[in-house]
Amino acid sequence: MLQNIELEQFQEMVEPPESEPDRQYYFIAMARKLTAQLEKQQKRKLTYCVTTFGCQMNARDSEKLTGILELAGYEAATEDMADLVIYNTCTVRDNANQRVYGRLGNLNSMKKKTPHKKIALCGCMMQEPSVIETIKKSYSFVDLIFGTHNIYKFPELLVAMLTTEDMIIDIWKDTDQIVENLPVERKYAFKSGINIMFGCNNFCSYCIVPYVRGRERSRNPKDIIKEIKDLVAEGVVEVMLLGQNVNSYGKNLEEPMTFAELLRGIEKIDGLKRIRFMTSHPKDLSDELIQVMKESKKICRHLHLPLQSGSTRILKAMNRVYTKESYLELACKLRKEIPDLSITTDIIVGFPGETKEDVDETIDVVKRVQYDNAFTFIYSKRTGTPAAAMENQVPQEEVKENFDRLLKVVQETARERVRLLTGQTAEALVEEINEQDETLVTGRLSNNTLVHFKGDSSLIGKIVPVKLKECKGFYYLGEMI
């Protein structure tokens, strides 16, 4: 991250530089001048509150927004107090959208009481033209709207917002640009998400992500390795490599490389203790990757391998490009090669045309694979996706019945699977003080299971051996040894 001193050089420039990220540093310097003036008037610091909806990509984007705001002179506050509220939105399922609209209603009443409060919206939902129309019509008090492709331009947009009363809308359809080296404010000191690629080319027929995140673009491996080395120098011991489909990493680079090759490079970074990644698409999971995972001392024993459906017929309609049999074969191979691997998954119930028999097939896969955890979702119709135009949408009651049936099996098998480690000792990375009982800390095992045990804040960020004494369903109570 650039230091304050370096920001001064941008403060003296008359024109914004053309090249990125310098241009954005120029606008951060300008925003800082503006916030300093407001600070003087109000005799207090300006404050912000960023709320994140959706996945880890959005969480990482929010860390970038926060990094920029902190450098521009803002400090964190609660939503009701903040001078600037940002919602980084998700649109993967309709309930994510509804939550945003609900909370916007509350913000409207807050803004009526404190009219200087600024409200900005960004993220995936903003890439949908119909959402922009709704906001313009029913939520006209919003000050700034931007999308996923121009998030790196936030400093420039922030300055524009601070110098006008009009609503600013800046949405791009797509981009091939990747801007490196913008400031980031991490949520955790000891672990961090790292984008290795952006966008998605898979176009699963139910999914809106390719439309709102654009085409797949991989970051240059040198930039990724440098970012991780810098993070390790700052005390990070665990990284989570992020992409919608990490297994296709590197295909569109000038010098193509595989995800497994990238992992080999990251493994060599001194001081880095743990490597995680998500998400893996089953269609691209190579033997080379399994081998690298097997040989690695740092790659965690956890693989998130979304199934979506266990019915080959439905998988075809979903455009997932694998069958029930090929998925099971892959899971079998993984179990054989890496026996201590925990496998988790995502499943959708109620895809158009799905019958009770299709759900039986999904349940069969759940029973056979024995997932450590499965996130089950009710199908949500996303405008513009091929599945939304399919005629055979399943009635709600039927979906609910199938969903409950599946959930029961998922919970039973996950319980069985998670408790297999009872009595063993495993390494846990201590993440935080337990929310319910402050004499306990919460640690994460390599396989992603949580364990709570006696300890204090001095342990946070350390990897310690813990005896897993009692399994409480989906987590353990343990004792540090």
Which residues of the chain form contacts with ligand SAH (CB under 6 A)?
92-93, 206-207, 209, 244-245, 279, 281, 306, 308, 346, 348, 377, 379-380, 382
**Judged by CB under 6 A, does residue 311 bind ligand SF4?**
no
Min dist CB 406 to ligand F3S, Å, is 21
- The correct pick among 62, 202, 258, 280 for binding ligand SF4 (CB under 6 A) is 202
d(CA 150, CA 179): 10
CA–CA dist 326, 301 (Å, integer): 22
The two tokens of residue 68 are 């920029």
Work out which of 126, 157, 184, 200 binds ligand SF4, going by CB under 6 A. Answer: 200
Residue (of 166, 92, 77, 79) closest to 124 by Cα position: 92
Stretch that binds ligand SF4, among 175-183, 202-210, 321-329, 451-459 (CB under 6 A): 202-210
Answer for the pair 143, 118: CB distance below 8 angstroms, yes or no: yes
- 207 or 406: whose CB is closer to ligand SAH? 207
Query: Which residues contact ligand F3S by CB under 6 A?
Result: 54-55, 57-58, 90-92, 124, 209, 212-213
Place of tokens 């803002």: 74
Q: From ligand SAH, ligand F3S, ligand SF4, none, which one binds at residue 119 (CB under 5 to 8 Å depending on kind)?
A: none
Q: Point out which residues pair with 378 in neighbouring strands.
A: 349
- Listed residue (140, 135, 142, 143) closest to 163, CA to CA: 143
Q: Which is nearer to ligand F3S, 135 or 330 (CB)?
A: 135
Half-sphere exposure of 395 (CA within 13 A, CB side): 4
CB of 391 to ligand F3S, least distance (A): 25
Q: Which residue has the tokens 């049999």?
A: 325
Show the tokens assigned to 7: 């920001």
Neighbours of 28 (CB within 10 A): 27
Residue 327's nearest CA partner among 303, 307, 341, 302 is 307
- Smallest gap, in angstroms, from Cβ of residue 201 to ligand F3S? 14
Binding ligand SF4 by CB under 6 A: which of 281, 302, 382, 417? 281
For ligand F3S, the closer of residues 91 and 447 by Cβ is 91
Instruction: Say if residues 289 and 260 touch (Cβ distance below 8 Å).
Output: yes
Residue 65 interaction partner, one of ligand F3S, ligand SF4, ligand SAH, none, beta carbon < 5-8 Å per kind: none
Q: How far apart are CB 443 and ligand F3S at their closest, in Å? A: 27
Q: Which lies closer to ligand F3S via its Cβ, residue 102 or residue 395?
A: 102
Please, what is the minimum distance in Å from the beta carbon of residue 279 to ligand SF4? Answer: 7
Annotate 38-50 with three-state secondary structure: HHHHHCCCEEEEE
Min dist CB 418 to ligand SAH, Å, is 21
Q: Which one of ligand SAH, ligand F3S, ligand SF4, none is in contact with 210 (Cβ closer than 5 to 8 A by kind)?
A: ligand SF4
**Alpha helices for 311-436 (secondary structure H):** 312-317, 324-337, 356-369, 396-418
Q: How far is the CB of 55 from ligand SAH (least distance, A)?
A: 6
Spell out the residues 6+ positions from residue 147 whose beta carbon is closer than 8 angstroms to its own: 122, 123, 126, 127, 170, 171, 172, 212
Q: Which does 382 bind (CB under 5 to 8 A by kind): ligand SAH, ligand SF4, ligand F3S, none?
A: ligand SAH
- Element containing residue 403 per DSSP (H, E): helix 396-418
Query: Residue 83 in contact with residue 47, Cβ under 8 Å?
Result: yes
In whole angstroms, how close is the CB of 151 to ligand F3S at the nearest point?
A: 12
C-beta nearest to ligand F3S: residue? 54
Q: State the nearest-atom distance from the C-beta of 85 to ligand F3S, in Å.
A: 18
Helix, coil or strand: residue 244: coil
- Using CB distances below 5 to 8 A depending on partner kind, what does residue 58 bind out of ligand F3S, ligand SF4, ligand SAH, none? ligand F3S
Distance of CA 296 to the CA centre of its chain: 24
Q: Binding residues for ligand SF4, per CB under 6 A?
A: 200, 202-204, 207, 209-210, 244-245, 281
